[in-house]
Amino acid sequence: MIRPISLRIRHTQAIDQAEATLIRAGRGEEVRRAQYERTMRTARHIVERAQEQARLKRYAKLAAEKAILATRQAYDAQIKVADEFDRERWLGLKDFVLSELRRISEGQRP
């Protein structure tokens, strides 16, 4: 039977050994600076990704509001030209579609 090998553990062990060797050689300040820079780079990346996700959410919300407006205008135009029976049917469909679009824009529906 073949045992799985975790390369991540070996990688971190190698880094730990290298850092310990550098600290013993008197280069501890460089090691700490490199760790700090690595941590800051990761933090900046996380912040940038969160900001991009927030921007995309805002854009999706705006697009949903525009879709609701366009749907409302389309139903209003259809109701103007429909006869009495169709008008009642279109009003019911309009309410249903608009409520579903609102639920989607609020994040209540996938």
Q: 1-44, pLDDT tens digit by residue?
A: 566 666 666 667 878 888 888 888 888 888 889 889 999 999 99
Q: What pTM was estimated for this model as a whole?
A: 0.56
**By the 8 A CB rule, do 110 and 70 touch?**
no
In a domain, 19, yes or no: no
Q: What residues make up the domain containing 101?
A: 24-105
In a domain, 6, yes or no: no
pLDDT at 1: 57
The per-residue b/e assignment along 18-50, b for 16 or more CB within 10 angstroms, e otherwise, is: ebeeeeeeeeeeebeeeeeeeeeeeeeeeeeee
In a domain, 84, yes or no: yes
Domain tally, the chain: 1
Rounded-to-10 torsion of CA 59, 65, 69, 74: 80
Digit-coded pLDDT (tens) for 86-101 = 777 777 788 888 888 8
**Stretch 76-84: mean pLDDT, rounded?**
77
In a domain, 7, yes or no: no
In a domain, 10, yes or no: no
